[in-house]
Structure 1
Amino acid sequence: MISVKYYLKSPKELKNTILVRIRDGRRFDFTSATDEYVNLEDWDAKNGCCLSSIEELKNGKMVSSRSAETRNRLSTNVQVNRNLIKLSELIEDEYKKSDKSNISKEWLRRIIYPERFKIEEKTDPNLLEYASIYLEEKTKEFERGKRKEATLTKTKCIIEILKRFFRYEDTAAPMMTEIDRNFQRCYDDYCIEVEGYMNSYSNRTFKAIKTICFHASANGYQINPGIRHLKIQLSRTVYPTLSFEELELLENHNYQKPYLENARDWLIVGAFCGQRCSDFLKFNTSMIETELVDGKETFFICFTQQKTEKHLRLALHEKIVKILNKRNWQFPGSISSQRFNEYIKEVAELGGITEPCEGGISMVVDEKTKKIRKVFGTYPKWKLITSHLCRRSFCTNFYGLISTTALMTASGHTNEKQLREYIQDVDRKQAENFARELNLINTINLK
């Protein structure tokens, strides 16, 4: 007789994946993760299920908790328990029908994850079919807190682009063994010429398609082995940055309107902290700590990056400290990223950032469909100013002035190659750094 039990392996706080273990005497003993998860405090280890009641201490007695939070937790627990009971019944039914010599871990996983095995090897899924399977799996990971919503949004966008591409080509979705260099060329042509996407965006979406194919390969499906050699040619896009001199120009400009002075100060903060606007626009002085470094009072700001969820303790540049002192030790007033993007263009224009500069501006390119795409050309630099310029200016300005390791720590880049691709005019910056070191050597030799 088969025994089906549920447990947590190496339980930790918050969410834990529930594992299932099946046994039949000494015949077999197999374990697999399920699609269910539970908070550690809601797990009944003795009975191998979620708690059906939660008690709390009230007036010296343990009584059933009836708070809204508890009701929500119990509602989730009830649903998880139903799913576990349903899975147990399914395993037992399949066991009765199966050849006992075929019972294995894969047999168990086929019952738990039917969507991964529902398509026989002789009818491997095409690209669109597997993209949907991929999205379904990532959605479950998101529900467990293991994936960001941005991943789901990106995958949905890829699927919609592929659907439009196949409709335009009047062809069925190809098998994953057919994703080759010719497919890449046709896809790139469609994205750039029909959709009006930038080359860099087309490349990023194709990279995501490769990721979907590699995921399929990891799950046992056939893909074109040559896909690993399809290189993503990332074009070098020019993005504007503000130099130290330009930032000083804005810092010294007398803005007559308070909202512009507020936006200008946030711009300075962003350009000297190296963070995304989703992080630095939320800075407040309660995040600041003080410490003596080499005998000098140094201010640090402690926060968790929204995108990476990485905790940082970042030394504040004297330009930021100057703004805090000017504002009675407060950051500039609260502002949305949308308004910030709007106001800093005005800040830059009034501050004299008007030189002609290459770049792209989002415009409506089709009045009928209201399709918006970036149109590249030469514009006054202030028109190209966006919030992302802050972080890029920081990396570009400080590259070579501080160690690459320190710069990567501040900016959040994980490797030097990624940082170099991000920095504008990196070759010129390297040449300048070499010249500085050469001048230093010459000075020493002259002595």
Structure 2
Amino acid sequence: MFNLSIKGMATLKFVLLNKTDNAQIYLRFSVNRQINLRRKVGLSINAKDWSTTTNLPKTNNETNKLLKNKLERLSLFVNEQFNEDSTKGTVINNDWLTSIIDKCFNRVEKTDLSIFVNYIQYIIDNASTREQRNGKIGISVGTVKNYRMFKNIIAEYEKTIKKTILFSDLEKSFTDRFKVWLLNEKKYTINYTGKQFEHIKSVCVSASKDNITVTNNSITLKGFRQNDKERYIHTLSFDDLDKIYNTEMPTPHLKEVKKWLLIGCYIGQRGGDLLNLTSNNIRIKDNAVYFDLIQQKTEKFVTIPVLKDYVIDIILNDFPKKISLNKINTHIQKVCELAKIDEIVKGYVIDENNRKKLLTSLSKYKFITSHSFRRSFATNFYRKMPTPVLIGITGHSEEKMFLKYINQKADKDANADAFAMYYAQMMKKEEPVLRLIKSNNH
């Protein structure tokens, strides 16, 4: 019997599921009770020529001898790949087994790009060479990550509806049902659900440029967001930041999170950009401290002045250690709790029983996350600094997006006030003008 043991824990066996003259050969691969795989190997045999003793073809003719050699080669190849991949932490599942079988026999599967999820993968696979709207070549790491998550959502929905989604399926009735599933079944927020609709449109617009037929509905979809009146944005004020600075943290982890928090709230960068900073990003010019960095999402080169005294001290004398975004979000609320950032505010929480969002009132520290850093910077300096200057630092593409980010309406007087201020400054610099004053006395 051909029953190969691998590392004392996995077994491999070839089997037939029927007794026809063209029976498909399957490979069974069992690692443990949870991982018990079975996949076609893409070869067939007359069941009469199959040995139930060896679980391999009989060697009664030249064709069966060649087939037996192929299967034995496959078994050794699977063995080697399992030993290699399992040590790397690779997920061992049916997709893995299929790919290993195809790799052994040098099979190249032709991808059908009319299948929606296949085209998403096509975008991911060609991310480094795809042209963007601004003419640049290559999709950012963050955008690729979003496409991967979107692909996983679509793949899960396909399992739910038991159907492979084609571009031709993306009519209004389909996207309406998809929206209901995202909101009611997955319990995603309105904003996150709206983002998935933006992804559908983006993928379909791209596909149409590659001469793939798409529906009119899919390329006219609009994303959507929660009503501004229903949004609750939680930021740390300058007073909050002073309280955090003046609060001693009891553990090394909390001390590092505290330092990243204070830096983040004074330089206004996204979490990934913030946590990639090192002392190499620091530049000192005329006794002023600057951070120079390239933003991952926008690929813009940005210089940020560091002006707060205790933040300068941290940066120059006690630069924080490298830490993950997950670690930040694990400990940040404890940092804020110890600093007594406990003003009662409104916000949404997820009900653990039904996974729905509930509006409630809690201490502010319970709502603070790493995303609060950049938003605190934008909120604290809004109206204190010219908005274009703030946008240049935060990386927002336009003022409208910046104001939505901090939940503010456009200040109609801002430009007029700024013009009046700069005009007054301009007039002070003008040279006095000698005027002829007529007198009534002759």
By the TM > 0.5 criterion, same fold?
yes
Take 1:157 and 1:265, find their aligned partners in 2: how far apart are those partners?
31
Take 2:404 and 2:330, find their aligned partners in 1: how far apart are those partners?
27
Take 2:282 and 2:413, find their aligned partners in 1: how far apart are those partners?
35
Take 1:141 and 1:283, find their aligned partners in 2: how far apart are those partners?
25
Equivalent of residue 222 in structure 2, options 231, 242, 254? 231
CA distance 1:253–1:213, shift in 2 (3 Å): same
Equivalent of residue 354 in structure 1, options 338, 342, 353? 342
Q: Which residue of 2 aligns with 1:131?
A: 117
Amino acid at match of 1:356: I
Establish whether residue 406 from structure 1 lines up as the match of residue 389 from structure 2.
yes
Tell me how far 1:224 sits from its aligned partner: 2.7
Q: List aligned pairs for 1:108-123, cutoff 5 A.
A: none
Take 1:412 and 1:261, find their aligned partners in 2: how far apart are those partners?
28
Q: List aligned pairs for 1:182-201, cutoff 5 A.
A: 182-201=173-192
Amino acid at match of 2:376: S
Q: Which residue of 2 aligns with 1:301?
A: 291
Q: Which residue of 2 aligns with 1:158?
A: 150
Deviations 1:3-37 (A, max 9, x none): xxxxxxxxxxxxxxxxxxxxxxxxxxxxxxxxxxx
Equivalent of residue 301 in structure 2, options 302, 311, 325? 311
Amino acid at match of 1:197: Y
Take 1:342 and 1:218, find their aligned partners in 2: how far apart are those partners?
43
Establish whether residue 323 from structure 1 lines up as the match of residue 311 from structure 2.
yes
Take 1:438 and 1:310, find their aligned partners in 2: how far apart are those partners?
28
CA distance 1:304–1:363, shift in 2 (3 Å): farther
User: How many pairs are equivalent?
Assistant: 307
Q: Which has the larger radius of gyration?
A: 2
CA contact (8 A) 1:303 1:313 kept: yes
CA contact (8 A) 1:180 1:230 kept: no
CA contact (8 A) 2:267 2:374 kept: yes
Q: List aligned pairs for 1:272-283, cutoff 5 A.
A: 272-283=266-277
Tell me how far 1:404 sits from its aligned partner: 1.7
CA contact (8 A) 1:400 1:430 kept: no
Tell me how far 1:432 sits from its aligned partner: 9.9
Tell me how far 1:307 sits from its aligned partner: 4.0
CA distance 1:170–1:260, shift in 2 (3 Å): closer
CA distance 1:373–1:279, shift in 2 (3 Å): farther
Amino acid at match of 1:195: K
CA contact (8 A) 1:115 1:133 kept: no
CA contact (8 A) 2:127 2:144 kept: no
Tell me how far 1:437 sits from its aligned partner: 7.9
CA distance 1:173–1:357, shift in 2 (3 Å): same
Take 1:160 and 1:287, find their aligned partners in 2: how far apart are those partners?
36
CA distance 1:328–1:136, shift in 2 (3 Å): closer
Deviations 1:66-110 (A, max 9, x none): xxxxxxxxxxxxxxxxxxxxxxxxxxxxxxxxxxxxxxxxxxxxx
Q: Which residue of 1 aligns with 2:202?
A: 211
Q: Secondary structure at the match of 1:400?
A: coil
User: For structure 1, which segment, 185-194 or 340-349, has the greater mean C-alpha deviation from structure 2 after superposition?
Assistant: 340-349
Tell me how far 1:242 sits from its aligned partner: 1.2
Take 1:226 and 1:328, find their aligned partners in 2: how far apart are those partners?
54
Deviations 1:207-252 (A, max 9, x none): 1111121122212233333444433221144231112222223233
Amino acid at match of 1:313: T
Deviations 1:358-417 (A, max 9, x none): 334567658xxxxx8876543321111111110011111112211122111111112222
Give the gaps of 5 or more residues in structure 1.
1-113, 120-124, 367-371, 442-447
Establish whether residue 202 from structure 1 lines up as the match of residue 169 from structure 2.
no
Equivalent of residue 257 in structure 2, options 259, 263, 270? 263
CA contact (8 A) 1:275 1:410 kept: yes
Take 2:316 and 2:194, find their aligned partners in 1: how far apart are those partners?
47
CA contact (8 A) 1:360 1:377 kept: yes
Take 2:173 and 2:164, find their aligned partners in 1: how far apart are those partners?
16
Tell me how far 1:421 sits from its aligned partner: 1.8
How much is the aligned-residue C-alpha RMSD, in angstroms? 3.8
CA contact (8 A) 1:131 1:212 kept: no
CA contact (8 A) 2:325 2:370 kept: yes
CA distance 1:385–1:436, shift in 2 (3 Å): farther
Take 1:217 and 1:328, find their aligned partners in 2: how far apart are those partners?
52
Q: Which residue of 1 aligns with 2:375?
A: 392
CA contact (8 A) 1:240 1:385 kept: yes
TM-score with structure 1 setting the length = 0.58
Tell me how far 1:339 sits from its aligned partner: 2.6
Give the gaps of 5 or more residues in structure 2.
1-108, 131-136, 423-442
User: For structure 1, which segment, 233-242 or 395-404, has the greater mean C-alpha deviation from structure 2 after superposition?
Assistant: 233-242
CA contact (8 A) 2:289 2:312 kept: no
Amino acid at match of 1:244: F
Tell me how far 1:345 sits from its aligned partner: 0.9
Tell me how far 1:172 sits from its aligned partner: 6.0
CA contact (8 A) 2:204 2:214 kept: yes
Take 1:434 and 1:309, find their aligned partners in 2: how far apart are those partners?
29
CA contact (8 A) 1:180 1:226 kept: yes
Take 2:344 and 2:413, find their aligned partners in 1: how far apart are those partners?
24
Q: Secondary structure at the match of 2:303?
A: strand
Q: Secondary structure at the match of 2:267?
A: coil
CA distance 1:182–1:400, shift in 2 (3 Å): farther
CA distance 1:233–1:244, shift in 2 (3 Å): same
CA distance 1:288–1:201, shift in 2 (3 Å): same
